[in-house]
Chains A and B, each alone.
Chain A
Amino acid sequence: MRIQVEHLSWGVPGKTIVNGVDLVVGDGETVGLIGPNGSGKSSLLRCIAGLRTPTGGVVRYDGADIASWSAREKARQLAFVEQTADTDSDLRVSEVVMLGRTAHRSRWRGPDAADHEVVAAALDRLGLTALADRPWKQLSGGERQRTHLARALAQRTSALLLDEPTNHLDVRHQLELMELASSTPQTVVVALHDLALAARYCDRLVLMHGGTVVADGPAADVLTAPLLRAVFDVEAEIGRDSLGHLAVGYREPVR
C-alpha cells in the first residue's frame, strides 16, 4: 500500500503543528519519522492514521483519500499503535489482541474460530503466547507495548503506523520489534527517538522540525552533523560501530 501525504497541515486554534508536509511512502517501505519533541511527528502520524482531520491537504492510500473512508474501512487498511494507551480495565492479553478484530466482524456475532487463529498467530509473532491469559494490570510496560503491537497485527492491515513503539522496551525487544517492522511486507511509518535504531532498520528517514519536513532520504543523508545541529541543537559525530551500523555520538552541550 502506497501512502501519499500532500501539503498536509494540522493544528489547534492559534497554533499550527504540522505545516504543509509532503511525503510519499512506497508499498512495503519502512519509513522512520525523527525529530525533536514537539516537531509534529505524533500529530503527523495521527493525521496519516485518519485520527485527526487535517486543516489542509490530503492523505491518500493507493490514491484513495482517507477522508472518504469510514472508521471501519480505515481499521481494515491501517493499524495504529499509540505511544501510551493504558486502561483501568481488567482485560487479558488475548482479549486486547482480539480488539484488533473489531472491524472484521459484524455487530451481531462474537469472535469466531478464524478470529481466534489470527489472534493466536499475532500473539505468537510477538512472543506473548505464554502471557495470553494475563490481566493487563500485571503486565510490564514492554509487555503492554508488545500487546498493542500484536493487536495491530491482528487487524491484518497493509499499513502499520507506530508512535515511538520502542519506548518501554529493553534492548532485545527493541531490536526484535524493529526487525519485525522492517521485515513485514506491510508499509510502515514509525516515529522514533533513537536515531541509531532508526538508521539501522528504516529504509528511509524523514526528519521533522517545527512541523515541516527538513530532510527526507537514506539514513546517511539525513543523519549529518550540520542537520542534527540545526534541528536537535546538538554537536554530533556520525560514524560506524564495529558491526558496520551507523552510530551517532554526541558532545557535551555548550551553554
Chain B
Amino acid sequence: MAESALLDPVALEAPPPRRRGRNALVVTVSLVVLVVSLVVAVRIGVGATWAEIGRAAGARLGLPVVPLPRLLDSLIWNLRLPRVLLAALVGAALAVCGAALQSVTRNSLADPYLLGVSSGASTGAVVVVVLGFAGSQLGVTGGALAGALAAFGLLMLLLRRTGLDSMRIVLTGVVVGQLFAALTSLILLSSGDADSIRALTHWLLGSLASARWTSVVVCAVVLAAGLLVVWLCSSALDGFAFGADTASSLGIDVRTTRAVLLVTTSVLTAVAVAAVGAVGFVGLIVPHGVRFLVGPLHRRLLPLSAVVGAVFLVWTDALTRVVFAPLEVPVGVFTALLGVPLFLLVLRRRGEL
C-alpha cells in the first residue's frame, strides 16, 4: 500500500511548541515559593523580628553575630524550625502518595487517608504508644508502618475479586478506615488515662505541634528514598492509565510495580502519620492542582507534587497557628475543610454525584 493513503491532507499542520520552557518555569517558581514559604512560616506565630531570626540563623552558621537569648533561640531552633520543615516533608510525602495511588488504582479519588491507610497507621502508632514506647520515634514509626501495611493488606484482600478499577476501591477504603478508627478508639479508651487520651486525640487529628528534629531527620531520609523509588516508576505510572493489560503489553511488570508502589506509599504514609498524625486530603488536593499545571505525565507530576505539597502544608499549618490564636487547631482539620469541597468537585466531574 502507498503509505500516503494513511495521511489526511490536513496532517501537515505544525504542532504547537513544546511545553518544556513552561515546565522549567513552573519548577523554578515553585522551588522559590517553597524556600520563601519556609522562611516566612518560621516567623509566623513566634513573635520574633526578622533581625532576630537572622541572628538565630547566623549564630548557628558560625557568623559573627550576637546570639539570641537562649529561650528565644530554642523556641526558633527547637520548636519552630523543625515544625515548618516537618510540615514541608509530610506535605511532600502525602502529595506523592496521592499521585502514585491515583495512578495505580486508576481512581482520581485515591489518597492514603481516603483508602484507610492513614487510619491503619494511626492504630499501629497508638498501640506502640499505649504499650509504653512513646519516647521512641522509631518504635512509633515501626508501629505505624505495621498498621499501614495491615490496612493496605486488608484493602487488597477485600478488593481481590473485583479488581482495582472502580468506585468500589474508595468505598472499601472508607470501610477499612472506619474499622481501624474504631480499633484506635477502643485501644485508647480501654487503656489510656484522660491526659494521654487528649494528647493522642489531638495528634490523631493531625498536629504538627510536637514536631522535633528526630522526626524531621527520619521523614527527610524516608521521603528522599520513597520519592526516588516512586519517580523511577514514572513510566509505569503513566502506562497504568489504560489498565493492566495495556500496561503489561507496554513492557511494565504490573504485579511487581504495583507491589513496589503500594509498599512504598505505605511506608511514606506510615512515617508521615507517625510524625504528625493522620492529615487527610493533601494527597487528593495537590496532584489534581499540579496536573492542571504540567499535565498527567509522572516524570514531572511527582517532583512538582512534592514541592507543591510541601508549600501547601507549610501554609496550612501556619494558618492553624494564626486563625484561632492562641488556640491551635490540628492541621488535619484544616486540610479536611479544604479537601472535602474538592472531593465533591472531582466526584461531580466524573458524573457520579
Residues of A within 8 A of B (CB): 46, 49, 51, 70-76, 78-80, 82, 85-92, 94-95, 99-100, 102-103, 105, 107-108, 110, 124-130, 132-133, 148, 155, 176, 179-180, 182-183
Q: Are B296 and A91 in contact (CB under 8 A)?
A: yes
Contacts of A124 in B (CB 8 A): 7, 11
Known: A75-B250, A75-B251, A102-B235. A127 touches B16 (CB 8 A): no
Please name all residues of chain B whose beta carbon is closer than 8 Å to the beta carbon of A73 when the two chains form the complex.
Answer: 251
Residue of B10, B252, B296 near A102 (CB, 8 A) is B252
Does B7 contact A74, Cβ atoms closer than 8 Å?
no
Q: Are B11 and A46 in contact (CB under 8 A)?
A: no
Specify the chain B residue showing the minimal Cβ separation from A183: B1
Q: How far is the CB of B27 from chain A (nearest CB, A)?
A: 14
CA distance A74 to B238 in the complex (A): 18
User: Is the pair B246, A82 in contact by a Cβ cutoff of 8 Å?
Assistant: yes
Chain A residues lying within 8 Å of B233, measured Cβ to Cβ, are 107
**Does B6 contact A85, Cβ atoms closer than 8 Å?**
no
Residues of A within 8 A of B251 (CB): 71-76, 102-103
Q: Which of B235, B248, B250 has the most CB of A within 10 A?
A: B250
User: Is the C-beta of B243 less than 8 angstroms from some C-beta in chain A?
Assistant: yes
Contact among B11, B242, B253, B350 with A129 in the assembled complex (CB-CB below 8 Å): B11
Q: B245-282 CB contact bits vs A (8 Å, 1 = yes)?
A: 11011111110000000000000000000000000000
Q: Are A71 and B253 in contact (CB under 8 A)?
A: yes
Q: Are B299 and A133 in contact (CB under 8 A)?
A: no
Q: Does B54 contact A (CB under 8 A)?
A: no
Contact at B249–A74, with CB atoms within 8 Å?
A: yes
Verify B1–A130 contact, CB threshold 8 A: no
Instruction: Report the nearest B residue to A73, measured CB to CB.
Output: B251
* Given A46-B245, A180-B1, A132 and B15 contact (CB-CB distance below 8 Å): yes
Instruction: Kindly list chain A residues whose C-beta atoms are within 8 Å of the C-beta of B182.
Output: none
Shortest beta-carbon distance from A231 to chain B in Å = 27
- A80, B249: Cβ atoms under 8 Å? yes
Query: CA A80 – CA B247 in complex, angstroms?
Result: 10
Contact at B250–A176, with CB atoms within 8 Å? Answer: no
Query: Cβ of A130: which chain B residues have Cβ within 8 Å of it?
Result: 8, 10-13
Contact in complex: B238, A107 (CB < 8 Å): no
* Any A CB within 8 A of the CB of B232: yes
- Tell me, yes or no, whether B119 is within 8 Å of chain A by CB: no
- A103 vs B247: C-alpha distance when bound (angstroms): 11
Give Cα distance in the complex from A10 to B136, angstroms. Answer: 53
Q: Which A residues touch B13, using CB under 8 A?
A: 129-130
B18 to chain A, nearest CB (A): 9
Q: A82-B246, A130-B10 are in contact. Are A88 and B252 (CB under 8 A)?
A: no
Cβ contact within 8 Å between B238 and A99: yes
* Least CB separation from B16: chain A residue: A133
Residues of A within 8 A of B239 (CB): 99, 102
A sample of 8 cross-chain residue pairs with beta-carbon separation below 8 angstroms, ordered by A number, consists of A80-B246, A90-B296, A95-B238, A107-B235, A125-B3, A129-B12, A130-B12, A183-B1
Q: How far is the CB of B242 from chain A (nearest CB, A)?
A: 4
A95 CA to B7 CA in the complex, in Å? 20
- Please name the residue on chain A nearest to B9 by beta carbon: A127
Best-buried of B8, B249, B253, B291 by chain A (most CB within 10 Å):
B249
Interface residues of B in 294-320 (CB under 8 A from A): 295-297, 299
Establish whether residues A102 and B250, one from each chain, have CB atoms under 8 Å apart when the complex forms: yes
The 5 closest A-B pairs by CB, nearest first: A103-B251, A75-B251, A80-B249, A85-B242, A183-B1
B108 within 8 A of A: yes
Residue-by-residue, is B317-346 near A (CB-CB < 8 Å gives 1, otherwise 0)?
000000000000000000000000000000
B106 at the interface (CB under 8 A from A): yes
In Å, the complex CA distance between A120 and B249 comes to 21
Let me know if B250 and A99 touch, CB within 8 A: yes
Report whether A51 and B11 are in contact in the complex, using a CB–CB cutoff of 8 Å: no
Q: Among B15, B16, B108, which residue has its beta carbon within 8 angstroms of that of A88? A: B108
Q: How far is the CA of A87 from the CA of B237 in the complex (A)?
A: 13
Is residue B241 within 8 Å, beta carbon to beta carbon, of the partner chain? yes
Asked if A127 contacts B6 (CB within 8 A), the reply is: yes
Given A72-B251, A99-B250, A183-B1, 4 additional A-B pairs, CB 8 A: A71-B253, A82-B242, A99-B238, A102-B235
User: For the complex, what is the distance from the CA of A107 to the CA of B256, rounded to whole Å?
Assistant: 15
Q: A95-B297, A102-B239, A125-B6 are in contact. Are A71 and B350 (CB under 8 A)?
A: no
Inter-chain contact A82/B245, CB cutoff 8 Å: yes
Question: Quick one: given A125-B6, A126-B6, A129-B11, are A88 and B106 in contact (CB under 8 Å)?
Answer: yes
